Amino acid sequence: MYINAMGYYVPSERVHNDYFFSLNGLSSDWIFQRTGIKTRSRVSEGENTFTMGKEAVERAIGRLPYPVNSIDLIISAGYTTQDTVGTLAHIIQRDFNIENAASLMISSACSSCVNAIEIVEGYFATNKAERALIICSENNSYYNDDSDPKSGHLWGDAAVAFFISKEAFSENDPEILSVITRGLGHIGKGPEGVYLSPRQGNIEMTNGKDIFINATRFMVDAINSAIKKVNVQLNELDYIIAHQANMRIVSNVLHHLDFPEDKSLNNIHKYGNTGSASAFLVMMENEDKFQKGNLVGITVFGGGYSSGATLIKF
């Protein structure tokens, strides 16, 4: 599988750590030391999951080597949906006049984007599709309680979109060499680790220690499994990008992998935890750093729990 075009959108508004002190008593230094976050992105009035996703698609289309209406699969992946019936995938299908595509929404929390890639792989393998679009748009602030001292200060808003084809359209198309996912609902706190119940509260992360332990363990396991699948050694990777949940988790993943921190890319300090969009947002923001032949490993962990990883050759 090959990535033909990528686009992302991050709202311009930033919420600084200082904002939270009057709400929950957490100082800016306390938040930064424990999370690595200094500011987080936030939608402005009139912006939401759909508008961000559409903007990310618009930005990707400018680099697309084929007509957008020729794609045959659209997947919106994420957990902060604006509408569970008229999903982002269907909004994109309508607004871009993509008539002959299967359209669906999937969620495995913050690992949703990697799950979407694996679904595309399945469609391609069974010859049910040849060109696909994945959109991950997370409007965390819509569901967030800023005053929650456990997790109210973590969340940011952003969207990514990328087109994938079965065959390469250019020698410069990044190739997806492998993808793996794993459901972990039976591990630790599982479905109680992070939850979002719109009519019974907000997005909450009440079991931080359990999440820390299992996110580290299974992001390490996921990236090792993904590279082993294609006989690549860890020291052959040029970069690793981990889900941007917490910089202490990312550092712990790198420590367990014995992987150099200067070969890990991140943006959590600017945007906070942008959910399923986060790791791919890092990849897209740093695209100009990647040279021909570079191997980039992405590893993720989602509340629920779930994990996944993908290996991409630029």
Q: 16 near 71, Cβ under 8 Å?
A: no
Mean pLDDT of 296-302: 97
Whether residue 178 has pLDDT greater than 90: yes
The pLDDT tens digits of the residues spanning 258-268 come to 999 999 999 99
170: in domain: no
* DSSP H or E segment with residue 210: helix 208-228
d(CA 139, CA 303): 16
Full-model pTM:
0.95
CATH classification of the domain holding 95: 3.40.47.10
Question: 88 lies in which domain range?
Answer: 2-165
Cα–Cα distance, 170 to 65 (Å, whole number) = 9
pLDDT digits 0-9 by tens, 205-263: 777 889 999 999 999 999 999 999 999 999 999 999 999 999 999 999 999 999 999 99
| 231 and 135 within one domain | no
Residue where a domain terminates, one of 115, 134, 165: 165
Long-range residue pairs from 224-228, CB within 8 A, at least 24 positions apart, any chain: 224/257, 225/180, 225/309, 226/178, 226/179, 226/180, 226/297, 226/299, 226/309, 226/310, 226/311, 227/178, 227/297, 227/311
Q: What local confidence, expressed as pLDDT, does residue 285 receive? A: 97
pLDDT in tens, 100-152: 999 999 999 999 999 999 999 999 999 999 999 999 999 999 999 999 998 89
Amino acid at 32: F
Q: Answer yes or no: do 195 and 290 share one domain.
A: yes
Residue 282 three-state SS: helix
* Same domain as 126, residue 54: yes
Closest by CA position to 274, among listed 297, 245, 303, 302: 245
Give the integer Cα–Cα distance in Å for 61 and 195.
34
Q: Point out the domain boundary residue: 115, 137, 165.
A: 165
Tally of structural domains, the chain:
2
Mean pLDDT of 81-93: 93
Same domain assignment for residues 159 and 21: yes
